[in-house]
């Protein structure tokens, strides 16, 4: 070994370092593994270690450790990078040996020595790549032969791995000519080995793959060094199959010499995907076109599914509510705790799936829904949410209430009629006897005493009041069926308003009317409707004990007329609101509790309904909804 090579390296250390660093610092693959100062430190240590190698050739030198201690990631790629760094140093030193005049006594020996030490570094890198790291420098020739055999054996393993990979693999030159192909590739595309070697890869191209697609693919390979994606390829028999293709460049001594393509047949995967997509679209179509309300919730109660029927019922678009909390948007606050408890039971498989509850629409209207619920599970059979399929039973519930109310009113009417009938005759007798008693007292003396006169008048007054109540009960029990006839609803409202104006004025109440038109033709029973308006208007007047404003509006919509009667009175307490339409329920000292019950019955006979909203201390508004179509004749 040339004894003065170490001195040469020391003398030209700075020049070697500068050229070495400059030669590799521009390569992104190198600076990724050995960034910035680390690369400079590595090259300095490597040059010092090589110098020491020539000064003390018998010492052990762990070349691999010198690299791996500084790598950001230890991998096959980083081993390749280490080899690039070492070869760059070899080129710099050999070039300098050629350029400097009379650098050492024996230039040829120096060249061989430098070549030998870098071969040792290269062998150490190869051993590292193959997970084989013996002490190469101290090995005898027989040991080195054994090492070489072991490395060849490992290389053979890599080749076998290439041949027997389940993925199709080809190796091409820079022009795309196939140099090598494994068994899986031949099997995928149906070729024999001799039929593909030497051919350009264009024979795999499917007719529908555009030139632009290939242009972008090779642009990615040239700029990013790789391309991955799905592509359609053509088999030998003309069959087109989808494959997942990965193309990466192959380098030798830092120079790109070809490409490796890995192809995975994804026909079965695509078949399953297409089947799933088809099934998904079919399911989505069923959900969207179903004549049922369908909503999906995750475990937090957030909306994941919202079909068109639900959009039409609630007035909300799917885009507005997806991801938002169902309970906060759609449930009246009074029922949220109970419905949340039901939801908790559904997602925990604890309670039956059927449930009924009202939901809020965009306009604030409540619609009553009957839900059939089920838990949603993932592929691990874990519950991840709930699915509700609902039917709007608002009208059904309203009809049930009407039937119940009608049955209740009929029963009460029968009772009232019987009671009134039993009371009328005794009342008439009491009234007659009271009058006769007055005549007898007056005949027995010149003048009836003032106290006696007051007592008689009180008796007669109370009997008269009870008689009137009895008559009202009889009227309620004998309320005839509605006999709707064409008429002008606004004219009827005007008549009733004119009738109550004197009483309103005496109470200090201003009446404000708002009519959308001069007239509104409708089919209704004028006598019964007049009674309803009188009941509602009088209730409003009595609610404003200190005066106020009574606002009466008549609105014409496409399908119905709406009469709104708003007062600025005391309002109805919340605990009372559910009872006001019950017969005989009243908060008045002298009331019968039949006015609103009769009004509701009349409006229902006309095919409509009554609603109200009230805020204690601010007032109440009643809404009378009357359909424009003539109700069907009763059988």
Q: Check residue 351 and give its pLDDT.
A: 57
Q: Check residue 466 and give its pLDDT.
A: 72
- Residue 195 in contact with residue 185, Cβ under 8 Å? no
For 368, the 3-state DSSP assignment is strand
Tell me the per-residue pLDDT of 45-95, one tens digit each, with 9 for 90 and over: 889 888 888 887 766 667 777 777 776 545 445 566 777 788 888 889 988
CA–CA gap between residue 396 and residue 62 (Å, rounded): 89
Task: Tell me the CA end-to-end span of the chain in Å, nearest whole number.
Answer: 124
CA–CA gap between residue 495 and residue 357 (Å, rounded): 42
Query: Phi-psi region for residue 238, left (φ > 0), alpha (ψ -120 to 50) or beta?
Result: left
Chain Cα centroid distance, residue 390? 19
Tokens 């007669």 belong to: 460
Closest CA to 29 of 171, 224, 173: 224
* Distances 461 to 283, 441, 466, 510 between C-alpha atoms, Å: 75, 18, 9, 33
Tokens 């010492």 belong to: 59
Task: List the chain residues with pLDDT less than 70.
Answer: 1-3, 28-29, 32-33, 58-61, 71-80, 101-103, 123, 125-159, 252-253, 283-284, 286, 346, 349-353, 401-422, 424-425, 427, 442, 444-449, 468-482, 583-594, 629-635
Measured N-to-C along each axis, helices 36-55 and 107-129 cross at an angle, to the nearest 10 degrees, of: 130
Token readout for 526 is 């004028």
Query: Beta-carbon neighbour count of residue 160 at 10 Å?
Result: 10
Query: Beta-carbon neighbour count of residue 545 at 10 Å?
Result: 11
Q: Check residue 222 and give its pLDDT.
A: 82
CATH number, domain 485-627, options 3.20.20.140, 3.40.50.11540, 3.30.565.10, 3.40.1640.10: 3.30.565.10
* Distances 325 to 61, 336, 370, 620 between C-alpha atoms, Å: 68, 12, 20, 32
Q: Check residue 300 and give its pLDDT.
A: 87
Q: Check residue 73 and give its pLDDT.
A: 47
Give the burial class of 515: count Cβ atoms within 10 A of its Cβ; 0-12 exposed, 13-18 middle, 19 or more buried: middle
Across 347-462, the runs of DSSP E, i.e. the strands, are 354-360, 366-377, 383-392
Task: Name the CATH topology of 290-392.
Answer: Beta-Lactamase (3.30.450)
Q: What is the dihedral of CA 363, 323, 358, 535, to 10 degrees?
A: -20
- Residue 134 in contact with residue 95, Cβ under 8 Å? no
Q: Check residue 573 and give its pLDDT.
A: 84
Closest CA to 137 of 116, 151, 114: 116
Q: Where are the domains of the chain?
A: 5-161, 165-270, 290-392, 397-477, 485-627
Rounded to two decimals, what is the model's pTM? 0.37
- Residue 301 in contact with residue 282, Cβ under 8 Å? no
Q: 383-392 and 303-306: which strand pairing?
A: unpaired
Q: Check residue 412 and give its pLDDT.
A: 61
DSSP bridge pairs for 626? 561
Q: Which helix (H) or strand (E) holds 486?
A: strand 485-488
Q: Check residue 173 and give its pLDDT.
A: 82
Tell me the CATH number for domain 165-270: 3.30.450.20
* Distances 157 to 151, 154, 184, 274, 585 between C-alpha atoms, Å: 10, 5, 17, 39, 96
* Distances 569 to 532, 540, 563 between C-alpha atoms, Å: 20, 7, 18
Tell me the CATH number for domain 397-477: 1.10.287
Domains 165-270 and 397-477 share a fold: no
CA R_g for the chain: 50
Token readout for 433 is 């006897």
Closest CA to 133 of 73, 65, 86: 65
Q: Check residue 511 and give its pLDDT.
A: 93
């Amino acid at each position: 070994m040339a004894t003065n090579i170490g001195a040469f390296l020391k003398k030209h250390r700075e020049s070697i370092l500068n050229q070495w660093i400059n030669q590799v610092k521009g390569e992104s693959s190198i600076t990724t593994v050995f960034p910035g100062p680390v690369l400079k430190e590595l090259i300095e240590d490597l040059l010092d270690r090589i110098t020491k190698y020539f000064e003390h050739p018998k010492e052990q030198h762990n070349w691999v450790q010198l690299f791996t201690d500084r790598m950001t990631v230890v991998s096959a790629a980083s081993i390749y990078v280490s080899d690039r760094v070492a070869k760059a140093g070899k080129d710099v030193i050999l070039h300098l040996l050629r350029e400097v005049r009379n650098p050492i006594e024996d230039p040829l020996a120096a060249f061989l020595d430098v070549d030998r030490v870098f071969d040792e570094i290269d062998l150490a890198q190869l051993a590292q790549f193959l997970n084989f790291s013996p002490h190469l420098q101290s090995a005898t020739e027989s040991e080195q032969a054994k090492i070489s055999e072991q490395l060849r054996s490992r290389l053979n393993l890599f080749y076998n791995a290439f041949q027997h990979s389940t993925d199709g693999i080809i190796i091409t030159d820079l022009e795309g000519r196939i140099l090598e192909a494994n068994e899986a590739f031949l099997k995928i595309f149906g070729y024999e080995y001799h039929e593909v070697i030497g051919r350009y890869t264009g024979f795999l191209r499917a007719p529908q793959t555009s030139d632009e697609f290939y242009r972008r693919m090779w642009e990615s390979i040239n700029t990013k060094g790789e391309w991955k994606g799905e592509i359609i390829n053509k088999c030998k028999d003309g069959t087109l199959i989808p494959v997942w293709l990965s193309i990466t460049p192959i380098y030798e001594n830092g120079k790109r010499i070809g490409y490796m393509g890995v192809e995975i047949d994804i026909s079965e995967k695509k078949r399953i995907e297409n089947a799933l997509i088809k099934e998904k679209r079919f399911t989505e179509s069923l959900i969207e076109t179903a004549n049922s309300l369908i909503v999906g919730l995750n475990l937090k109660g957030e909306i994941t599914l919202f079909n068109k029927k639900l959009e039409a019922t609630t007035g909300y678009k799917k885009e507005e509510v997806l991801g938002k909390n169902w309970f906060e948007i759609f449930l009246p606050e009074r029922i949220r705790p109970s419905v949340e408890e039901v939801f908790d039971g559904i997602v925990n498989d604890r309670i039956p799936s059927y449930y009924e509850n009202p939901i809020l629409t965009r306009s604030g209207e409540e619609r009553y829904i009957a839900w059939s619920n089920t838990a949603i599970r993932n592929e691990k059979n874990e519950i991840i949410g709930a699915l509700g399929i609902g039917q709007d039973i608002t009208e059904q519930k309203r009809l049930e209430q009407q039937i119940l109310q009608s049955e209740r009113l009929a029963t009460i009417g029968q009772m009232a009629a019987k009671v009134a009938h039993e009371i009328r005759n005794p009342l008439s007798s009491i009234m007659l006897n009271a009058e006769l008693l007055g005549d007898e007292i007056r005949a027995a003396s010149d003048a009836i005493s003032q106290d006696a006169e007051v007592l008689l008048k009180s008796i007669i007054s109370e009997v008269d009041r009870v008689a009137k109540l009895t008559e009202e009960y009889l009227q309620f029990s004998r309320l005839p069926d509605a006999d709707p006839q064409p008429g002008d609803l606004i004219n009827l409202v005007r008549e009733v308003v004119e009738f109550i104006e004197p009483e309103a004025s005496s109470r200090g109440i201003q009446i404000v009317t708002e009519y959308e038109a001069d007239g509104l033709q409708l089919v209704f029973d004028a006598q019964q409707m007049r009674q309803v308006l009188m009941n509602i208007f009088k209730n409003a007047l009595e609610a404003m004990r200190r005066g106020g404003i009574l606002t009466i509006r008549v609105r014409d919509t496409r399908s119905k007329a709406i009469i709104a009667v708003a007062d600025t009175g005391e309002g109805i307490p919340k605990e009372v609101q559910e009872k006001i339409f019950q017969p005989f329920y009243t908060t008045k000292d002298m009331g019968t509790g039949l006015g609103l019950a009769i009004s509701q019955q009349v409006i229902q006979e006309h095919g409509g309904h009554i609603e109200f909203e009230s805020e204690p201390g601010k007032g109440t508004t009643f809404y009378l909804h009357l359909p424009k179509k003539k109700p069907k004749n009763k059988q």
